[in-house]
Amino acid sequence: MAERNALSLGITSRNSLFCLFTIISILFILSWFFVLRSTGRPNFIDHNLLPNSKFLATSDDRGSATHSQNEVEPSTGNRSILVDAEEQEEETSQENEKIDVKCNTNDIEVAQQKENKVVLKVFMYDLPPEFHFGLLDWKAQGGSVWPDIRSKIPDYPGGLNLQHSIEYWLTLDLLASELPDAPNAPRSAIRVHNSSDADIIFVPFFSSLCYNRYSKADPRQRKSKNTLLQEKLVRFLTAQKEWKRSRGRDHLIVAHHPNSLLDARMKLWSAMFILSDFGRYPPNIANVDKDVIAPYKHVIGSNVNDSPDFDSRPTLLYFQGAIYRKDGGYIRQELFYLLKDEQDVHFAFGSVQKDGIKKATQGMHSSKFCLNIAGDTPSSNRLFDAIASRCVPVIISDNIELPYEDVLDYSQFCVFVRSSDALKEKFLINLIRNIGKDEWIRMWQKLKEVENFYEFQYPSKEGDAVQMIWQAVSRKVPAIRLKLNKYRRFSSNAVRSDRGVRSVPSPKNFWPPGESL
């Protein structure tokens, strides 16, 4: 009897301990439940591993869908926690989207503010006038190399010459930076007279103008003035200590016209070029890593009094220019046959002869979309005419490179179409017709925001084409400095031997393996 009582007492004790342990476990679980609910974070581990709120919202949504398909429907209590978490994540997502929209709206302004903090220091060679303003028929007086821009600025020839006048505006801007009464507006570049203090060495050769005016040889001479000046330029540069010091790596040469500097480019290829595109350059001579793409100067007047009135522009799609082109320009004639009979489409031959520019101005200003099709080269002035007209550009040029694209998102105000797609029956016209009024107005407003980035003027102003090009050059400087510093690891040391100091080997022998000069 005593044994049975002892056994019963032991069982009762174990049951009591088990019940006590169960109650403590339930209370512990409930306490964690309320802690998690109070923080609004049901998936504690997942949220710590994935800090990005947007990514969390996507992951949680996918997880919820999988859960509902494969498991029993959660209880009311669990569902209430999920709702709380989803509401909080939705609010966070909305706040992030607002921030993203604000960033997208102000990305260009922020980039501008950052860039304006850095002033590029430029050493400019005092080349004889025959290389620059002398090509504009300016006559030097009193041995001066440069014109007195405070009294008279030599005029640049008009018409299509202007579209490649980049070196003219950059040179004027450097000269203006030295004026005692220079405007106080933020500058992106200043001229310095000690090359050791400079970030870049500027070569003021008006190569595009030289090609346009002097590429035809005089019957009494074997070579054209354009060729002779290029030969003289190569001899001058390669003899300078600045060129020898870096093998031309830190030199800046403008060759915006596709045919400019045609003879010298192979000898000066180590320099940084300012180009319109890479269409007529082999990749080892010019490429996006080394060189800068600059906009054309538009020849069509800006549409300053325009308003975002979709219905006031009767022409849907506009193109006027040379239709039959070589190389990549074959697509123009193919598109002509596809689009010539489409309603609300203007696709016609045109040139600058007579009143061609006036007609193109009227046409672009009254069109919703303007075609920019590859011609003999990937780029053309037509894109920048369209921007000035606030006519949304439709770019059909697979190999085009665009100015400032490392800081500017062209998809915000341009429509890009692959050549292979554009040549499909009805593809292009259906694409354009499906862009609604609201979307067009949004792109029009973006064009209005960015159009100043393509304006060349003197004196230059903050955020115009001159300042933007200097800033693009500034962004190349760190890569140049890195390569030069690597080169100087050994080139500053003479090779010593027991017999004394030997001559320093050629700089190219010191260039880092795999790096080209």
Burial 227-254 (b: 16+ CB within 10 A, else e): bbbbebbbebbeeeebbebbbbbbbbbb
- Count other C-beta atoms under 10 Å from residue 366's C-beta: 16
What local confidence, expressed as pLDDT, does residue 13 receive?
57
What local confidence, expressed as pLDDT, does residue 358 receive?
85
Tell me which residues of the chain have a pLDDT lower than 50. 1-7, 9, 11, 38-88, 92, 97-99, 101-106, 108-116, 494-499, 501-517
**Residue 199: in which H helix or E strand, if any?**
none
Choose among 17, 94, 8: nearest CA to 57.
94
Token pair for 278: 């890479």
- Please give the Cα distance from 336 to 443 (Å, whole number): 25
The Cα-based distances of 176 to 91, 183, 202, 461, 503 in angstroms read 52, 9, 15, 12, 43
What local confidence, expressed as pLDDT, does residue 7 receive?
44
What local confidence, expressed as pLDDT, does residue 79 receive?
30
What local confidence, expressed as pLDDT, does residue 114 receive?
47
Asked whether the beta carbons of 377 and 255 are under 8 A apart, the reply is no
Give, as one character, the DSSP assignment of residue 268. S
What local confidence, expressed as pLDDT, does residue 37 receive?
52
Token pair for 275: 């180009």
Choose among 480, 433, 87: nearest CA to 291.
480
For 347, phi then psi, to 5°, come to -135, 105
- Please give the Cα distance from 291 to 440 (Å, whole number): 33
What local confidence, expressed as pLDDT, does residue 292 receive?
98
3-state secondary structure of 273: strand
Give, as one character, the DSSP assignment of residue 152. -
Asked whether the beta carbons of 177 and 202 are under 8 A apart, the reply is no
Concatenating the DSSP letter of every residue in 399-420 gives T---TTTTT--GGGT-EE--HH
